[in-house]
A and B are shown apart, each in its own frame.
Chain A
Amino acid sequence: MYPEYMQESIKKVEATRPDRLELARKLGKMIYPGMNKQEREEVLNENHPDYKAEARTKVRIGPDKGMVMTTEIAEMLERYSRIDIKNFDLSKADIKTDVLVIGAGSAGMSAAIVASEQGSEVLLATKLRLGDSNSMMAQGGIQAADQADDSPIIHYLDVMGGGHFDNKPDLVKALVNDAPLSIKWLEDMGVMFDKKESGQMVVQPGGGTSRNRMHSARDYTGAAICKVIRDEVYNRADKIKYIEYTAIVELLLNDKKEVSGAVMYHLENKQFSIVKAKSVIISTGGFGRLHIRGFETSNHYGATADGIAFAYRAGAHLLYMDSVQYHPTGAVYPEQIVGFLCTEKIRAIGAQPVNKDGELFVYPLEPRDVEASAFIRECNNGKGISTPSGIKGIWLDTPLIDQINGEGTIEKELPAMLRQYQRFGIDIREVPMLVYPTLHYQNGGIDINDRCETNVPGLYVAGEATGGVHGRNRLMGNSQLDIIVFGKRAGQYASERAKTIEDAGNLSLDHVLAYNKEVEALGIERSKVSPIILPDYIPDHVKAKQLIQEYNGTLI
């Protein structure tokens, strides 16, 4: 149920609805004039989060010093290590393994499975539980060119065009070539893809695809995949040792500046352990929980870009860390699902965005970045609706859908959305949804080649933590694909390397010491540390009374 104070605004929406319905009947989707090139540029420049002058900053230290990055990322990189190095005895390791995998989403768990198949001992350390990750949350689908009228060649063109040709060609080649093999790998493990009776995959088109190429498993595609991969990890207990609620906070390097292990922090008993490993795979996912530019996010609780922080300190180069994917329609009310993704289809089948006075202000299907910017502008102009926790949003007038297309349309076309809102006593057939752009995906990341190698020997990266596969704009369905393709590759090549190594060498944190000095030279306050590990949602008035170090910015 919407709180009483919002009812007044809802009444205004209801009052203008008959006229807007009339308009939709007369003009179809063109209920509001589309923007021309100049208007688009204007709304983007003035409102899109990425276009704000303060949205991007040159990072002042580290291997990519001078590179323009999203400000929050630059700020996270210009921080001290969490650990006090003099307290660590690096003369011996607490745990030894062939391959250390950091982060148990589908990328990390695929890597662990393949590395174990190759005969390596694997340690899989993850911050929350196995599978608590963005991988579990994908609803839409996974791309792969396996249909007769499709091919990896056509898929290649779609990926490059979608990424505005900024993608690294070798990575895209690997992505599209391995795609059908990855789907086959998943099918053989028992993932229940949507199929016709003949066994043929049900495939849909997606934004930027020139063929029907989106495979799905109802609207739980990510979960269907991630649950099966996780079950397989459990089944390999003899080869894959996993530790939950354990965050990696730094990498260790040997004298040759190769990765030789990592420092692990157990969130609950607060103990640190030293891991020695012959190869290390980072699969820590994205950055939604950094709430870039104050945005709500669709991401899971642990999406804080930790891998970027410790890889950068160890000397790894980054790519496209200046680009953020926002989705125009994230839920802002009910509070329980703030940031929750509301599919584009809602607008495609007739819901109209309107302001607090029930007025139209934008063509409903502008390109994503333009649409998002128009929503932001409307709220900035005082035409948004505030939620009890102070977030602003605009209405997506959903009752029109049934009025335009006939009763029962919402139930048939948007069952998951309908159910999600019904949980909180909101019937989207009767009342509108309150939405605002949500922070969705980390387009850039750690620079890798098609073997998932970084410029730091022994350090591999897979999944959302990498940059280059999608250029500056990922197409839907290619991320679920990328985590399987490159997760498997990382497992393969990291394991191959581990086999050639007798001993990983000495364990040193000298690179972190040197990095800390650079941070100090910038005059950064000593309390600022990274990686972030978990976001902090404790209200200020409570924190003001929690006068212990533990809550200084973030956890620990």
Chain B
Amino acid sequence: MSDTQKMVKVYVMGEAYMVPEGSTIVGAFEYAGFQLKRGVGCREGFCGACATVYREKGDYKLKGGLGCQTVVTDEMYIAQIPFVPADKPIYDMDEITPDAGTFMNLYPSVFRCVSCNTCTKACPQDIQVMDYIQAIIKGDIAEAANLSFDCIRCGLCALRCPAEIVQFNAAILAQRLYGKYIAPKSPELEVRANEIIEGKYVKELEELATMEKQKLVDKYYNREIKIS
């Protein structure tokens, strides 16, 4: 810690603490003496474990963000939301179809969307959440899958939705339906997978695995490099 370190005051669930300026919300908790268990995962904006609500000085708005990616400001009030109770129906991917009907069965709440856009405003990943929910309603699963792709399941959208929709669970279903049924299958992968099942490479791999080291080294340095 350099001597020039400026401190700011934050209220962790109402209690005041001085923490270094520039701390993240997660960092502020730790500086204040909390050993976090919940509310932190990757610490880099990839896992969505750190959903937090906060209110800034002089602002009436209750804001949401990722605790590991949001910098504290002076006089900020913070509270973590370490768990979002959410409906998650069980389905067999082989038994369902990539259309609105599937969502009608599994996530009927989606169809109650009132287009208020609150979810989009709440999303720390800047995802067009309302648009992907609307795409599902229209049966455009490809659009829903692509729009929702960057979702990290922080749950902030669902917490604010007046229609009680679980956007992030609907999103992963849309993505899986797209990946499994709508995106064209990779033809060359199919061919190679069959070759492997037939054992095409077993013998040659065994030869390499038992090859004398110097011979293998030579083979490696003499291999053809074809990169584009």
A: residues with CB less than 8 A from B are 3, 5, 128-129, 131-133, 136-137, 145-149, 151-154, 156-158, 160-161, 165, 169-170, 172-173, 176-178, 180-181, 183-184, 187-193, 195, 197-201, 205, 209-212, 217-218, 220, 222-224, 227-228, 231-232, 234-235, 237, 245, 267-268, 298, 300-302, 334-337, 339-340, 386, 388-390, 420, 423-424, 534, 536-539, 542-543, 546, 550-551, 555
* Cβ–Cβ < 8 Å partners of A228 in chain B: 172, 175-176, 179
Q: Are A301 and B40 in contact (CB under 8 A)?
A: yes
Q: Are B41 and A153 in contact (CB under 8 A)?
A: no
Q: Are B192 and A536 in contact (CB under 8 A)?
A: no
Q: Are A191 and B205 in contact (CB under 8 A)?
A: no
Q: Are A301 and B42 in contact (CB under 8 A)?
A: yes
Query: Chain A's nearest CB lies how many Å from the CB of B4?
Result: 6
Q: Are A389 and B37 in contact (CB under 8 A)?
A: no
Nearest residue (CB) in B for A236 is: B90
- Secondary structure of the B contact surface, majority rule: loop
Does B139 lie at the interface of the complex (its beta carbon under 8 Å from any beta carbon of A)?
no
Interface size range of chain B in the complex: 35 or more
Q: How far is the CA of A546 from the CA of B35 in the complex (A)?
A: 11
Given A129-B41, A336-B70, 13 new contacts (CB under 8 A): A132-B41, A132-B49, A133-B41, A152-B205, A157-B220, A169-B209, A180-B192, A181-B193, A189-B180, A190-B175, A192-B179, A201-B189, A336-B22
Q: How far is the CA of A551 from the CA of B173 in the complex (A)?
A: 42
Nearest residue (CB) in A for B31 is: A539
Q: Which of A132, A195, A337 contacts B184 (CB 8 A)?
A: A195
Query: Chain A's nearest CB lies how many Å from the CB of B210?
Result: 7
Q: Are A300 and B47 in contact (CB under 8 A)?
A: yes
B: residues with CB less than 8 A from A are 1-2, 4-5, 20-24, 27, 30-38, 40-47, 49, 68-71, 88, 90-93, 145, 149-150, 152-153, 172-173, 175-180, 183-190, 192-193, 196-197, 201-202, 204-206, 208-210, 213, 216-217, 219-221, 223-228
Q: How far is the CA of A192 from the CA of B146 in the complex (A)?
A: 9
Q: Are B217 and A542 in contact (CB under 8 A)?
A: no
* Cβ–Cβ < 8 Å partners of B5 in chain A: 388
Query: Chain B's nearest CB lies how many Å from the CB of A468?
Result: 13
Q: Are A192 and B197 in contact (CB under 8 A)?
A: no
Query: Chain B's nearest CB lies how many Å from the CB of A300?
Result: 5
Q: How far is the CA of A390 from the CA of B45 in the complex (A)?
A: 23
Q: Are A190 and B180 in contact (CB under 8 A)?
A: yes
Q: Are A420 and B45 in contact (CB under 8 A)?
A: yes
* Cβ–Cβ < 8 Å partners of A222 in chain B: 46
Q: Are A187 and B189 in contact (CB under 8 A)?
A: yes
Q: Are A160 and B216 in contact (CB under 8 A)?
A: yes
Q: How far is the CA of A211 from the CA of B90 in the complex (A)?
A: 40
* Cβ–Cβ < 8 Å partners of B45 in chain A: 337, 420
Pairs A–B under 8 Å by Cβ, sample size 25: A3-B4, A128-B41, A153-B204, A157-B216, A161-B217, A165-B216, A169-B209, A169-B210, A172-B209, A180-B192, A187-B179, A195-B184, A198-B184, A210-B223, A210-B224, A228-B176, A231-B172, A232-B93, A234-B88, A235-B91, A245-B37, A334-B71, A335-B22, A335-B24, A538-B33
Q: How far is the CA of A154 from the CA of B208 in the complex (A)?
A: 10
* Cβ–Cβ < 8 Å partners of A534 in chain B: 35, 37
Q: Which of A152, A161, A189, A542 contacts B176 (CB 8 A)?
A: A189
Query: Chain B's nearest CB lies how many Å from the CB of A5?
Result: 6
Q: Are B209 and A551 in contact (CB under 8 A)?
A: no
Q: Which of A160, A192, A337, A339 contacts B145 (CB 8 A)?
A: A192
* Cβ–Cβ < 8 Å partners of B24 in chain A: 335-336
Q: Are A157 and B223 in contact (CB under 8 A)?
A: yes
Q: How far is the CA of A240 from the CA of B176 in the complex (A)?
A: 20
Q: Which of A136, A180, A205, A336 contacts B69 (CB 8 A)?
A: A336
* Cβ–Cβ < 8 Å partners of A340 in chain B: 44
* Cβ–Cβ < 8 Å partners of A198 in chain B: 184, 187
Q: Are B193 and A184 in contact (CB under 8 A)?
A: yes
Nearest residue (CB) in A for B92 is: A235
* Cβ–Cβ < 8 Å partners of A197 in chain B: 184
Nearest residue (CB) in A for B27 is: A335
Query: Chain A's nearest CB lies how many Å from the CB of B99?
Result: 15
Q: Are A210 and B201 in contact (CB under 8 A)?
A: no
